[in-house]
């Protein structure tokens, strides 16, 4: 068979309703990683949904326990071909965000896929069940089209705790480094830059979640009797935050900024346009780091965002000076940031600004990763996607959000290429999450073309030809 025949078979899989049936089945498993009571559902999704599909394609599979978080096991799989010149590792996550029942609009159930026009509604349709279902279905069509031999070995790891910070993933990659050894990671998660634009990203910005607290005293005191006499923790905290990020969204902690934007990253980002799609918010003028384009700000620079800010009772204000105030802020950062000392740098900056009473605690962190946009695997993937669609491909040096990519990029030493099948308006992590049927169909063809081209050109990209 030919490359086009494989793509046609992938499109036929979508057109026949089989892909919709796959995703419908997957959505019904209530795999919320943040809910320990759902650990049995998580295991069922692995055993009943993923394992049969993988074994049907010739993968050997096993469930691996997670010592770091027993409720979140891993599924490891390998489809080995004798004398294969290179190996591809792929990834997906079986878990989803909490369903937020009662917050979806009428007629929608997070655990039952509902089709409305081009939209498939349900928890996990976009993040990540729909995406890894597309990849497995496309791979199956290519295996059949190539007579059962891809020309390379495929390995897979599926985790079940990505939405809870990927506990134990890095350790699992280290523990099973020989078993997971490969030449490249090709996987799918996150959104395209826009629905109609084939997209690939090569890593992700890192993330540090910081808790800022000003615990001055027990209880609150009458603002008339004590105003002007007692330090107000909310006032202190508001000004401390203003010392970290100004009123135009510019990060003020010099130690937490990247030194520069590499030339290859600037070239890649210059081809991109962020926003402007239906449902996207209007971009704020003069917001963020001056001198950068909007695309550079979100894909090549660091930003500090205030996620919550609390003092007193905002739902029922009273005339009293609160005793405590707290806020959660989040630094999104690129490669080149001193990520091991983020909290330390914030602490030192606040001390210099006179805010020693503000306590700083790092709650969570994901590392930043980024593959050079001019890497051979990037060129192969871009060429394949462009050949399939005839469209220009958006190459993001890194996703603006965060993924556990460091486990693969640093832990396994792999070049990492992500081909997302969702779009910015999909409402992932929110009520009314959905996937687009048209995008899913196109993604089936894109991945079939890519899996085919890997068999033709992958050995050269891996330096084995």
The Cα–Cα gap between 17 and 12 comes to 9
Residue 465: pLDDT over 80: no
Nearest to 377 by CA among 186, 135, 143: 186
Domain boundary among 366, 390, 409: 366
User: Would 8 be classed as within a structural domain?
Assistant: yes
Average pLDDT over residues 434-454: 98
pLDDT of residue 38: 78
pLDDT of residue 36: 78
Nearest to 42 by CA among 168, 159, 173: 159
pLDDT of residue 1: 83
What share of the chain has pLDDT > 90, as a percent?
A: 95
Per residue in 353-381, pLDDT tens?
999 999 999 999 989 999 999 999 999 99
Q: What are phi and psi of 242, to 5 degrees?
A: -65, -20
Domain boundary among 340, 366, 392: 366
User: Would 71 be classed as within a structural domain?
Assistant: yes
Nearest to 94 by CA among 24, 160, 32: 160
Average pLDDT over residues 140-156: 97
CATH number for the domain including 70? 3.40.630.10
pLDDT of residue 259: 87
448 neighbors 138 (Cβ within 8 angstroms): yes
Mark whether 192 and 230 lie in a shared domain.
no
Per residue in 5-35, pLDDT tens?
999 999 999 999 999 999 999 999 999 999 8
Mark whether 200 and 168 lie in a shared domain.
yes
72 neighbors 159 (Cβ within 8 angstroms): yes
Mark whether 185 and 214 lie in a shared domain.
no
Mark whether 200 and 246 lie in a shared domain.
no
Per residue in 110-137, pLDDT tens?
999 999 999 999 999 999 999 999 999 9
Calculate ∠ Cα 79-81-83, nearest 5°: 150
283: left (phi over 0), alpha (psi -120 to 50) or beta: beta
The Cα–Cα gap between 290 and 283 comes to 15
The domain of 106 spans: 3-204+369-461
pLDDT band at 37 (very low <50, low <70, confident <90, very high): confident
Average pLDDT over residues 85-107: 97
pLDDT of residue 278: 82
Mark whether 200 and 61 lie in a shared domain.
yes
pLDDT band at 212 (very low <50, low <70, confident <90, very high): very high
The Cα–Cα gap between 146 and 271 comes to 35
The H or E element that residue 68 is part of is none
Mark whether 346 and 421 lie in a shared domain.
no
Residue 62: pLDDT over 90: yes
Mark whether 197 and 222 lie in a shared domain.
no
pLDDT of residue 275: 86
pLDDT of residue 168: 97
Mark whether 235 and 321 lie in a shared domain.
yes
Mean pLDDT rounded to a whole number for the chain: 96
Per residue in 260-290, pLDDT tens?
999 999 999 999 999 888 878 899 999 999 9
Mark whether 189 and 220 lie in a shared domain.
no
Tokens 């499109």, residue located:
11
User: Would 48 be classed as within a structural domain?
Assistant: yes
Nearest to 35 by CA among 124, 101, 95, 109: 95
CATH number for the domain including 325? 3.30.70.360
Domain boundary among 341, 366, 391: 366
One-character DSSP codes across 3-45: HHHHHHHHHHHHHTTHHHHHHHHHHTS--BTT-GGGHHHHHHI
User: Would 272 be classed as within a structural domain?
Assistant: no
Mark whether 343 and 406 lie in a shared domain.
no
- Our count of domains for the chain comes to 2
Torsion angle defined by CA atoms of residues 338, 343, 348 and 352, in that order, rounded to the nearest 10 degrees:
110
Mark whether 162 and 251 lie in a shared domain.
no
The Cα–Cα gap between 373 and 412 comes to 19
């Amino acid at each position: 068979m030919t490359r086009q025949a494989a793509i046609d078979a992938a499109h036929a899989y979508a057109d026949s309703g089989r892909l919709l049936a796959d995703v419908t089945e997957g959505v019904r498993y209530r795999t919320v990683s943040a809910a320990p009571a759902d650990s049995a559902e998580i295991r069922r999704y692995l055993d009943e949904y993923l394992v049969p599909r993988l074994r049907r394609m010739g993968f050997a599979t096993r469930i691996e326990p997670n010592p770091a978080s027993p409720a979140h096991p891993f599924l490891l799989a390998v489809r080995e071909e004798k004398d294969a010149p290179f190996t591809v590792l792929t990834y997906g996550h079986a878990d989803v965000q909490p369903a937020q029942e009662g917050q979806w609009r009428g007629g929608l159930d997070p655990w039952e896929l509902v089709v409305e026009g081009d939209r498939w509604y349900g928890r996990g349709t976009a993040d990540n069940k729909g995406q890894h279902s597309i990849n497995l279905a496309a791979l199956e069509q290519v295996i059949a089209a190539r007579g059962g031999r891809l020309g390379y070995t495929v390995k897979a790891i599926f985790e079940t705790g990505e939405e809870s910070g990927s506990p134990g993933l890095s350790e699992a990659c280290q523990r099973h480094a020989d078993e997971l050894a490969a030449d490249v990671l090709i996987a799918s998660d996150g959104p395209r830059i826009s629905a109609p634009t084939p997209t690939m990203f090569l890593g992700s910005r890192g993330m540090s979640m910081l808790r800022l607290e000003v615990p001055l005293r027990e209880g609150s005191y009458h603002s008339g009797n004590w105003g002007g006499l007692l330090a107000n923790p909310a006032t202190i905290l508001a000004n401390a935050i203003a010392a970290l990020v100004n009123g135009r969204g510019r990060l003020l902690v010099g130690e937490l900024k990247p030194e520069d934007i590499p030339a290859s990253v600037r070239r890649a980002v210059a081809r991109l346009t962020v926003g402007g799609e239906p449902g996207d918010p209007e971009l704020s003028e003069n917001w963020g780091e001056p001198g950068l384009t909007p695309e550079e700000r979100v894909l090549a620079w660091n930003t500090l965002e205030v996620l919550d800010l609390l003092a007193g009772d905002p739902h029922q204000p009273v005339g009293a000076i609160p005793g405590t105030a707290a806020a959660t802020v989040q630094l999104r950062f690129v490669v080149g940031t001193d990520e091991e000392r983020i909290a330390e740098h914030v602490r030192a900056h606040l001390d210099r600004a006179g805010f020693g009473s503000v306590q700083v605690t790092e709650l969570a962190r994901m590392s930043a990763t980024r593959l050079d946009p001019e890497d051979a695997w990037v060129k192969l993937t871009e060429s394949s996607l462009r050949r399939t669609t005839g469209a220009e491909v958006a190459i993001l040096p890194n996703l603006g959000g965060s993924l556990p990519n460091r486990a693969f990029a640093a832990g396994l030493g792999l070049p990492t290429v992500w081909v997302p099948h969702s779009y910015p308006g999909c409402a992932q992590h929110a009520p009314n999450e959905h996937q687009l049927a048209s995008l899913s169909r196109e993604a089936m063809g894109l991945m079939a073309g890519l899996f085919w081209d890997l068999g033709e050109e992958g050995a050269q990209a891996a330096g084995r030809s």
